[in-house]
Amino acid sequence: SLPVPRRHTPYFGQPDYRIYELNKRLQQRTEDSDNLWWDAFATEFFEDDASLTLAFCLEDGPKRYTIGRTLIPRYFRSIFEGGVTELYYNMKHPKESFHNTSITLDCDQCTMITHHGKPLFTKVCTEGRLILEFTFDDLMRIKSWHFAVRTHRELIPRSVVVGMHSQQDTSMLDQLSKNITRQGITNSTLNYLRLCVILEPMQELMSRHKAYALSPRDCLKTTLFQKWQRMVAPPGKRGTNFIAL
């Protein structure tokens, strides 16, 4: 069944409960969950102008990816496409701060836990700092999601390791010694984030094309002209939208 995009009961000031709801919704995912399911999931938990940022360090240096609202559903879906069967977030001692129009949840001890079914059951614990900004209203949707990964652990049941030793299966033991993720992130998600570097700048062009029925060339010219106008605008007026004729 599709997630319900609007809740009937307001949850003022309970951001930790919203994460509980998000975890619960992710548990309801099935192999048949399609794009409509993931779009409804994102609509329920993320604002229309939300952004999601992941920061982590790979062998070739630190990485930082930021994606907009339209790409968020596919991000969560990519995790499961990478062999994950279960995903949830565990927070210890989160701190809340209230602002006029938003609530910030800052958790320095957040663990993203994923269960992988192949090649063998593996539990991956990805630890880091999660900072969430929620709207301060009855929907309490996420405006900003920022997860900075510090470290990760990949856990295999002891019985599996003992069984491999008793069978003296050296090839499987060698396979067990290799990580199935990179900093807790699957290859499918990494590939998607790299693709988003190309897709994200195109979102403005596509939305402009849909809204104004301009040709691709005119969309590009208008977008570049407005970006130039914002760059040369005096301080204090840079938030103003200009119309290119």
Does residue 236 fall inside a structural domain? yes
Query: Is residue 2 domain-resident?
Result: no
Q: Count how many domains the chain has.
A: 2
Residue 174 lies in a domain: no
Q: How many CB atoms lie within 10 A of CB 190?
A: 20
Tell me, yes or no, whether 146 and 220 share the same domain: no
**Torsion of the alpha carbons at 97, 99, 103 and 109, rounded to the nearest 10:** -30
Specify whether 123 is located in the same domain as 237: no
Contacts 24+ apart (CB under 8 A), 22-25: 22/89, 23/88, 23/89
Residue 126 to residue 66: CA distance in whole angstroms? 18
Regarding whether 189 and 221 lie in a shared domain, the answer is: no
Instruction: Kindly state whether residues 150 and 236 are assigned to the same domain.
Output: no
Whether 125 and 196 share a structural domain? yes
Element housing 203 (H / E)? helix 187-212
On whether both 238 and 195 belong to a single domain, the answer is no
Is residue 69 a part of any domain in this protein? Answer: yes
Task: Provide the 10 A C-beta neighbour count for residue 91.
Answer: 18
- Domain region containing 229: 214-245
Q: Hey, how many other C-beta atoms are within 10 angstroms of the C-beta on 166?
A: 8
Q: What pLDDT shows up at residue 211? A: 73
Give every CB contact of residue 22 below 8 A, 6+ residues apart in sequence: 45, 89
Tens-level pLDDT at each residue, the chain (245 residues): 555 555 444 555 588 899 999 999 999 999 888 999 999 999 999 999 999 999 999 999 999 999 999 999 999 999 999 899 999 999 999 999 988 889 999 999 999 999 998 778 899 999 999 999 999 888 899 999 999 999 999 998 888 777 766 666 677 677 777 888 999 999 999 999 999 988 777 766 666 667 777 787 887 788 778 777 777 877 655 454 444 43
Asked if the structure places residue 209 within a domain, the reply is no
The predicted structure's pLDDT at residue 224: 77
Q: Is residue 172 part of a domain?
A: no
Nearest residue to 62 via CA among 71, 53, 70: 53
In a domain, 127, yes or no: yes
pTM, full prediction: 0.78
Q: Are residues 147 and 190 in the same domain?
A: yes
On whether both 150 and 54 belong to a single domain, the answer is: yes
Same domain, 123 and 56: yes
Q: In whole angstroms, give the CA distance from residue 175 to residue 118.
A: 11
| Shared domain check, 194 and 119 | yes
Q: For residue 151, what are the contacts with CB-CB under 8 A and spacing of at least 6?
A: 127, 128, 183
For 90-130, the DSSP string reads EEES-EEEE-SSEEEEEEEEEEEEEEE-SSS-EEEEEEEEE
User: What is the pLDDT at residue 156?
Assistant: 87
**Residue (of 124, 135, 129, 110) closest to 54 by Cα position:** 129
Determine the pLDDT at residue 42.
97
Domain for residue 46, yes or no?
yes
63/140 same-domain check: yes
Residue 197 and residue 65 in contact, taking contact as beta carbons nearer than 8 Å = yes
Q: What are phi and psi of 16, to 5 degrees?
A: -65, -30
Output the pLDDT for position 138. 86
**What CATH number does the domain containing 61 carry?**
3.10.450.50
Is the domain of 95 the same as that of 142?
yes
